[in-house]
Structure 1
Amino acid sequence: MKRTIKKVAVLGSGVMGSRIACHFAGVGLQVLLLDIAPKELNAAEQAKGVSIDHPAVKNRIVNEALAAAVKSNPSPVYIKDVINRITTGNFTDNMKDIAGCDWIIEVVVERLDIKQAVFTDVEKYRKLGTLITSNTSGIPIHMMAEGRSEDFKKHFCGTHFFNPPRYLRLLEIIPTPYTDPAVVDFLMNYGDLYLGKTTVLAKDTPAFIANRIGVFSIMSIFKLMDKLQLSIDEIDALTGPIIGRPKSATFRTADVVGIDTLVKVAKGIADNCKSDEALETLTVPAWLQKITENNWLGDKTGQGFFKKMQTRNEKGEKDIHVLNLQTFEYGLRSKPKFASVDAAKPIEDLPTRIKMLSAAQDKAGEFYRQFHYSLFSYISHRIPEISDEVFRIDDAMMAGFGWEIGAFETWDLLGVNKTVAAMKAAGVQPAGWVEEMLASGSTSFYKVENGKRLFYDVKSKSYKPIAGAEAFLVLNNFKEKTVWKNSSCTVYDIGDEVLGIEWKTKMNSIGSEVLEGVNKAIGLAEENFRGLVIANEGPNFSAGANVGMIFMFAVEEEFDELDMAIRMFQNTMMRVRHSSVPVVIAPHGLTLGGGCEMNLHADKVCAAAETYIGLVELGVGLIPGGGGTKEFALRAADEMHEDEPETNTLKNRFFNIATAKVATSGFEGFEMGVFRKGIDEIVMNQSRRIAEAKKSVIELSEQGYITPIHRKDIKVLGRSALGALYAGINGMWRANYATDHDAKVARKLAYVMCGGDLSEPTLVSEQYLLDLEREAFLSLCGERKTLERIQSVLKSGKPIRN
């Protein structure tokens, strides 16, 4: 049957339920969010003398939960208006309304008896064929289906979202023996395509895939910490971004998740997986048990492994103290020093960094080796227990725990043969199938052939394509089809007469070599290809132009070289705009400054939903100098209407730049006018954006692509708008929203966007605005306060407010 989802019911409005509701609303669905009605009045309600049956009282729990979710940081919604798609209610009055829903998701408290009671009510009103799923993380899915009708069982399974559901991309799909395979296929596809999730098929085993591996990983780190006598600060320094893990690393993650939750899952695995060969590792250490007994559970109780103090540091921020596990007292945090880690930090390429760290001869290197041996052994023994395929375990850990590289991928990286020998020498045994694989001549879990990634299938003892991978395009898989490269960029032939370019620099910043690469890629595409895709595979698209280069030229007063560099940046952006073949960009993550400017000039943008884009140059005392100021002035001119003051659209565009506003999602990028309605698009699943960009290149080419003309008809308002913008700047300065230097930079911006000190509205060219933009940028590079801001960014990553 053809199944469509228009309305979803979420039963339970706790932390997970309310945020799941927000995510479904965010992707465009109508949502019914229900919870229990209160059993008694609160103090405020008693004071008002309202009845327990009053609708506002009955919906108090669900409404307060939703309000708290919407106010939380980071936001669970892409744009605030989507909250209007959520209708709230209570189980007593509104359970009947689930009859109009296409998918019912249960997210109530983790008790089987309560869930079964909810499902009894659901069966009274649910229409036949409606999907019904549970977000449980700790109760076997098949147990919840017991005693239910045949239709219920057929359409029931587990759909385990990770918190926060907007940001953590994992969705585990856990069928029962009764679940219709068509339901599983639908949910796998729907979660991927419409919810933007990495959907992973999991077996109905304790903790499923990600929590099973993730909790083991954390518990094994705890054991190693004791064994190698490492501190909390040292462990977090070793297990964070340096090896491609989140900034929260190990102990901060535990505080955020809840130490009691971690202990509960570990005990649950140990109690229910008696054949697990690593039961000893999953045993809760005495110090962890004591922390739990003290009710030091992390953020939820105000202290855990870390504690936010009332005292403040020199920056005015509250001090964070760390727990000493020997004395159980909190003290000042330390900055761990490991020679190997210090040597690895400058290396941008993660695989190279991991190999270097794992081979190090200091205590850090010993930690990494022992940690990896333990992890590799554990994941190998979990097949086929929790999954039949290695890629599902890697997908689950990357999407659910934020690992940049999967565990089996890491094993490949370090060399399976070499590592197995080292593991066995250390007394750590991999699963038998790994040694069988090696004996057969297969030496890796993954390999790439003709741009397609294959995985080693344990059942068939052969390599197979990853299911559904044809919908995804990974530039790195086309290494053997490299067309051109320099030390920063690589241009690939990605098939169907389309080129792709990516670059790997610090924060994917854009410097001279990246500009050279983009120009070269466009030139090659114009000669022999349909068009070009610009994308990056790292955590972010680009944090902007290389400010280190700008600072160096400015400090040394090499203004001719700086002028040439700015011209090159502007000319490259205009080359993106005016190439003879379509150029499509697929941004994600941070897309700031120069990265944003590149997107502004593309024929089309296929942006991930989680794209944080904006022109942020004002923060470092500059204006956008790569065509961004010109482009916002151009778009403001195109948006002007006779029925409203001409300055309105210009003001909106101006203040977006003047306040260094960054869109908190791709959807907000449309509201800001960075993305164009009817041209650019949002791709919910970040992993699909490059494939979608390639499709767009082909479509534009087949439609008979015509190179955009150089505009000479841009209406600028001159003095008539300049006065209004100056007045707005002065108001912000007087209200202390802007410093003296902020105001100076903003006036330069206003001057450019108004086309200069013109006596009347005038039609000008793109080049006219680019010249004004470049002149203003250059003049600001000579300002001491601008240089102080850039220097602060280079040193600390944050600009000072001077």
Structure 2
Amino acid sequence: MKRIVKKVAVLGSGVMGSRIACHFAGAGIPVLLLDMAADGPDRNRIVNDALASAVKSSPSPVYTKDVVKRIATGNFEDDLKEVATCDWVIEVVVERLDIKQQLFEKVEQYRTPGTLITSNTSGIPIHLMCQGRSEDFIKHFCGTHFFNPPRYLRLLEIIPTPGTDPAVIDFLVEFGDHILGKTTVLCKDTPAFIANRVGVFSIMAIFSLMDELGLSIDEVEALTGPMIGRPKSATFRTADVVGIDTLAKVAKGVFENCPEDEAKQLFVIPAWLERMVANKWLGDKTGQGFFKKIKNDRGASEILVLDLKTFEYGPRIKPKFASLEAAKLIETLPAKLKMLMSGQDKAGEFYRQFHYNLFAYVSHRIPEISDELYRIDDAMKAGFGWEIGPFESWDAAGVAKTVEAMKAAGFRVAAWVEEMLAAGHHAFYTIENGKRKAYDPVSKACKLLPGSDAFIILNNYGDKTVWKNSSCRLYDIGNDVLALQWNTKMGTIGGDVLSGIQTSVEKAESGFKGLVIANEGANFSAGANVGLIFMLAVEQEYDELDMAVRLFQNTSMRVRYSSVPVVLAPHGLALGGGCELSLHADKVCAAAETYTGLVEMGVGLIPGGGGTKEFTLRAADEVQHGEPENIPLQNRFLTIATAKVSTSATEAFELGIYRTGHDAMIINQDRRIAEAKRSVIELYDSGYVAPVPRTDIKVLGRSALGALLAGINGMQKGNYATDHDALVAKKLAYVMCGGDLSAPTLVSEQYLLDLERQNFLSLCGERKTLERLQSVIKTGKPVRN
């Protein structure tokens, strides 16, 4: 019988519990959220306050505020019996074994046999929690460890007990992947499981190296952040966010409960860390930790950093290392890591010592915490935000060469690594026909990674390259489908990318079913190349600027009117030009975490790659019988005029960027490219016919223009918009109304594109627009002028 989860109970509404409830609700599943009964008439005050606090928190735990409607609240005394109506019960109460066991005893009085029952513990052995419970309870019980915040950190560790039914584990792995969008990693019931075991080891190893090499906190942050594919929060900022007491607790837990761990001494808490815990300097939760935010003499916010020798806070200092400066010129992370580890300065020594420590440690954790090395990499990428995992990093450095260097430096690797190299396997990962294989220490062979057919990673198709230029690469991903990606900074779109899109459409039309456009890395696209626009505008190269805008518009229309389907699979940022491409695709398969919008107003421009035209066209199509014709137009105008960016793919549907019933949200980001490929095949096989250019778009002319201009003037007089904001908004209104027409008129797409381009170019000649563009180039943010 196929198991279906129609309703979930979450027991405990603290930071984790309330956010787990929000994530399930965001996935479309009704939730019952319970906590202790409060004194007084409002017995649900504790749970309701916790949920309200979670929804107001930043970053938001919900895709849209409406998600909360799927969460019902209650308390353990009055409402625990309601777990009988739930298909999955998740315990998220305080980390004390006795309290958890007592709660499970009560739950079993009401739980329906066959119901899933799991704990979100991060530190208590899973098998101890179900002692004394019934056979059915034990059979359906395991650990499901979500990482905080559950919406954004994609790791879900699943930890079975000896009594857990294997079918339950199989179901949770699949459910976590397909429904919750998680990287589900099967773990053994060992202290701290996988991610925290390796992640906290990494942090403690860095603490030790910092003392040994005499590095400051600022220096360590520079060495351990994005430069090596780690989050911007690097090491110490991560500790502040997680909680310094939590970090110390996990480290102590490993030290006390892992007597056979060869690196056990690294988990001993440094004296300065003990002092911080004693001082209650625990990070964000107490307002200060390794960093402290203050208001300076000018009233501006300033971040101070702790000096671990004096225990006083002082201004941050930007460190400089020769190795880091040289590495900035290297584009790919594997090549960058290899270079950094060969550096001859203090940074190079740090990278060698740290990675030798890390490589040795993870080699010895097999088979203790996992039988498969890829699970450790998956856990670190999904749980700690590493761009590549430790074994992938080891591959980048060169396994055989590094092992010899490690031996010379006194580091001992596990025997299975030596056996792997002796047998002729020179890397932990290999790629064959676009499929990734990982070395398996048990069978001593390379095995295909699970889900290889469901996940498409474009970088695995390097040997299937059909065409490329300096920015783009076009792959044959099988089944007569092509896929294009580009590798520019932040996915910005310039001439090379536009040429690449046009060429890719052309090649797809000559013998293929269609084209997928997607990028890997952090973002799909941050929009058009602002630097190029600024340069051409400052030098008053208006003919070239006109050609550049025409090229973008023509590319958008080439995507729209291709003779084969073109499907986009955006994720992360999909702004400006990245959003405009989505507006013109046959279908969009967007990751749930896609932040998209037409943001050109912020830099003093209007959308010039077809975005203004497309929003005008959609507004005309949205007019309902009996509805004032200007209402959809006003809504679309405001979305552009306020540079509204969706906080999720769900909100992008609400903004009308994605089309309900047509485009798709893919909750597991890793599946979006495979889903886009499936959509291309489905569209083609169902008898795809290219759409016909529109000539029947009804624009409203002066009547609507007058209303929009009146609204803009009101915002300007109320000081809600600067004079330049008003000027740009008026240009936008002019285009969206079809110009100064005396009456509503039917126009073509090309008519609107011409209006769009002309007004975009006119704004490029405005001094304040140039100031905004320059500010974005220098600081990443537009100046308000």
TM range, normalised to the smaller chain?
over 0.9
Q: Is the 8 A contact 1:10 1:106 kept in 2?
A: yes
Shift of 1:735: 2.2
Shift of 1:610: 0.2
Matched residue, 2:15: 15
Shift of 1:418: 0.8
Q: Identity of aligned pairs, percent?
A: 72
Matched residue, 2:235: 250
- Give yes or no for the alignment of 1:191 onto 2:171: no
Return the match for 1:321 from 284, 298, 304: 304
Paired residue type of 1:509: T
Secondary structure of 2:248's match? Answer: helix
- Give yes or no for the alignment of 1:485 onto 2:468: yes
- Give yes or no for the alignment of 1:458 onto 2:441: yes
Matched residue, 2:597: 614
Shift of 1:359: 2.1
5 Å matches for 1:325-336?
Answer: 325-336=308-319
Paired residue type of 1:22: C
Q: Is the 8 A contact 1:312 1:318 kept in 2?
A: no
Matched residue, 1:556: 539
- Give yes or no for the alignment of 1:122 onto 2:114: no
Return the match for 1:380 from 326, 341, 363: 363
Shift of 1:370: 1.1
Equivalent-residue separation in structure 2 for 1:268 and 1:174 (angstroms): 18
Matched residue, 2:575: 592
Return the match for 1:310 from 288, 295, 301: 295
Matched residue, 2:379: 396
Paired residue type of 2:220: I
Matched residue, 1:759: 742
- Give yes or no for the alignment of 1:784 onto 2:774: no
Equivalent-residue separation in structure 2 for 1:740 and 1:234 (angstroms): 44
Equivalent-residue separation in structure 2 for 1:771 and 1:645 (angstroms): 27
Once the two structures are superposed, residues 113-155 of structure 1 have per-residue CA deviations (whole angstroms, 9 ceiling, x without a partner) of 0001100110000000000000000100000011100000000
Shift of 1:346: 4.5
Equivalent-residue separation in structure 2 for 1:155 and 1:735 (angstroms): 61
Equivalent-residue separation in structure 1 for 2:89 and 2:257 (angstroms): 29
Shift of 1:27: 0.7
Q: Is the 8 A contact 1:348 1:506 kept in 2?
A: no
RMSD (Å), alpha carbons: 0.9
Shift of 1:101: 0.3
Q: Is the 8 A contact 1:263 1:284 kept in 2?
A: yes
Shift of 1:528: 1.5
Paired residue type of 2:231: P
Equivalent-residue separation in structure 2 for 1:74 and 1:373 (angstroms): 35
Q: Is the 8 A contact 1:32 1:86 kept in 2?
A: yes
Paired residue type of 1:531: G
Once the two structures are superposed, residues 572-602 of structure 1 have per-residue CA deviations (whole angstroms, 9 ceiling, x without a partner) of 0100000000000000000000000000000
Structure 1 unaligned residues grouped into runs of 5+:
41-51
5 Å matches for 1:603-682?
Answer: 603-682=586-665
Q: Is the 8 A contact 1:348 1:505 kept in 2?
A: no
Secondary structure of 2:74's match? Answer: strand
Shift of 1:70: 0.4
Secondary structure of 1:470's match? Answer: coil
Once the two structures are superposed, residues 649-700 of structure 1 have per-residue CA deviations (whole angstroms, 9 ceiling, x without a partner) of 1111111111110000000000000000111000010000000000000000
Structure 2 unaligned residues grouped into runs of 5+:
none
5 Å matches for 1:147-546?
Answer: 147-311=132-296, 317-546=300-529
Equivalent-residue separation in structure 1 for 2:613 and 2:207 (angstroms): 54
Equivalent-residue separation in structure 2 for 1:649 and 1:124 (angstroms): 54
Equivalent-residue separation in structure 2 for 1:360 and 1:643 (angstroms): 71
Paired residue type of 1:342: E
User: Where does structure 1 differ by over 3 angstroms across 4 or more consecutive aligned residues?
Assistant: none
Secondary structure of 2:72's match? Answer: strand
Shift of 1:312: 6.1
Equivalent-residue separation in structure 2 for 1:432 and 1:741 (angstroms): 68
Q: Is the 8 A contact 1:633 1:753 kept in 2?
A: yes
Matched residue, 1:705: 688
Return the match for 1:547 from 530, 542, 549: 530
Matched residue, 1:2: 2
Equivalent-residue separation in structure 2 for 1:348 and 1:333 (angstroms): 27
Shift of 1:349: 2.5
Paired residue type of 2:3: R
Secondary structure of 2:132's match? Answer: coil
Return the match for 1:601 from 584, 591, 597: 584
Task: Point out the more displaced range, 678-687 or 352-361.
Answer: 352-361
Q: TM-score, normalised by structure 2?
A: 0.99
Shift of 1:730: 1.5
- Give yes or no for the alignment of 1:26 onto 2:9: no
Task: Point out the more displaced range, 142-151 or 353-362.
Answer: 353-362
Shift of 1:277: 0.5
Secondary structure of 2:485's match? Answer: strand
Equivalent-residue separation in structure 1 for 2:83 and 2:73 (angstroms): 12
Q: Is the 8 A contact 1:141 1:204 kept in 2?
A: yes
Q: Is the 8 A contact 1:585 1:606 kept in 2?
A: yes
Paired residue type of 1:87: A
Task: Point out the more displaced range, 639-648 or 740-749.
Answer: 639-648
Shift of 1:369: 1.3
Matched residue, 1:74: 59
Q: TM-score, normalised by structure 1?
A: 0.97
Equivalent-residue separation in structure 2 for 1:492 and 1:307 (angstroms): 48
Matched residue, 1:62: 47
Equivalent-residue separation in structure 2 for 1:21 and 1:777 (angstroms): 45
Once the two structures are superposed, residues 442-472 of structure 1 have per-residue CA deviations (whole angstroms, 9 ceiling, x without a partner) of 0000000011100000000000011222210
Equivalent-residue separation in structure 2 for 1:432 and 1:498 (angstroms): 43
Count the aligned residue pairs.
785
Equivalent-residue separation in structure 2 for 1:794 and 1:342 (angstroms): 20
